[in-house]
Amino acid sequence: MAELSRLTDRESVLDAVQEFDALGEEAFLDRYGYSGTVDYYRVLDGRLYGSKAIVGVAFGKQYPELGPLARKEFSGGLQGAGSALKRLGFEVKTPAELDPPRLGAEFTDRHSVYRKYGGDMQGLVTRFPGDKYVNVFDDADNDDFDEGAALTQPFVYRDHAPHVNPGPTLDNYGLLETARREGLALRYWRRQLDGRFRFATWATVVGRSWITIAGDYGDSHHEIRWVLQSVPSSDPDVWPASVQDAFDTTLSDSDDTGTPVEAQLDASYGQLIQCIDDRGQGKPERKSHPRVDYRRSAAVRQAVLQRSGGRCESFRCTGMPPNMTRKGEPILDVDHVLDLALGGDDHPLNAVALCPNCHAAKTRGPDTEQWRLELLTVASEAHHRSIATE
């Protein structure tokens, strides 16, 4: 690799810029074997220039006996070409710094986003060079997100981790955990029906849990389930009080050592209930605004699904869906009988496993209150029966 520290002549850079202006970008890049770039730009008199091509040509102007550098002979980015230009007193900016994505922005595909801003073209979680905000991409072709997540409600991103205690060297974990701990905003991009990606909302991480998933051949893998909440802007000062409440609760209860009970593949119903009760979920503190604690929800969900045995718990059920999820599991929703937002407890005594039909009937049907009364009885009986049989 070429030593860019040898580029010391500011006038050589200006000569390269002058040639760029005279030829035009396309001809300049073609002459020296460079392609269009998503690299850092240098800014001069309000104009933008790809830093890597300018540095490569400037090197040849300072050292005509060596000639310009080929694009493969040195690195671009802030640590390469951008650093060399900054050292010579030039202003260096990235596309995200100069023209950050605005809420509602749309691109034809992920590659178009990459061409504009750089970063990781494949990863679902990435940060654009020079930008302080994390971007999370929801691609309809994978099941890492809740299907058809309603942005008015918290939604889940599933991050497949190689072990239960992932460290910050894992890109996804490091970026999202920093956002969670520091209460930072992130951009949530959703792929539309026509394939276009849209910056759908600002969001933030209000919780996470570690889950162990059984494999088809006796193996298992770990997931981190990040709970995202849509927020009105990137400014935390205008976020709802319930979001700050979620931060306070999840950070104070975070367990970053050992294996959480809800991540243990062989955890019994009784162990899950003990874990939930030890965390104070049975009778949560009442506040003037809705209390949300998404980290605990993982244990509740696992306990209810285990208790259900893969069947809808409503005695009104007329039949489970014949298909399975993409993970080969029964299609069941874990529903809080009394809504959390209305003061319901996040506990298996207030939660049931319902098939989609029963869930819809309970939520949107004409006799919702009767459903609730019946399902509270179902949850109580199933809970005590499961405890008694262990």
For the domain made up of 100-258, the CATH class stated in words is mainly beta
Instruction: Tell me how far apart the alpha carbons of residues 218 and 212 are, in angstroms, rounded to a whole number.
Output: 12
Highest mean pLDDT among 88-102, 150-164, 168-182: 88-102
What is the model's pLDDT at position 43?
78
pLDDT-derived band of residue 44, with 50, 70 and 90 as boundaries? confident
Mean pLDDT over each residue of the chain, to the nearest integer = 81
> Is residue 171 helix, strand or coil?
helix
* In the chain, domain spans: 4-93, 100-258, 267-390
Interatomic CA distance for residues 150 and 106, integer angstroms: 19
Name the nearest CA neighbour of 332 among 309, 355, 362, 360: 355
Burial label for 274, CB within 10 Å (0-12, 13-18, 19+), is middle
Question: For the chain, what percent of residues have pLDDT higher than 70?
Answer: 76
Mean pLDDT across 344-372: 92
Q: What is the pLDDT of residues 98-108, one digit of tens each?
A: 899 999 999 99
Q: Indicate the helix (H) or strand (E) that contains 108.
A: none
pLDDT at 284: 45
Q: What is the mean pLDDT of residues 300-315?
A: 91
| Mean pLDDT score, 167-192 | 78
Calculate mean pLDDT across residues 229-243.
88
pLDDT in tens, 115-143: 888 888 777 889 998 899 999 998 755 54
Whether the pLDDT of residue 158 is over 50: the answer is yes
The CA-CA-CA angle for residues 48, 50, 56, to 5°, reads: 135
How confident is the model over 218-230, as pLDDT tens digits?
556 667 778 888 9
Question: Which among 97, 115, 95, 113 is positioned nearest to 105, based on CA atoms?
Answer: 113
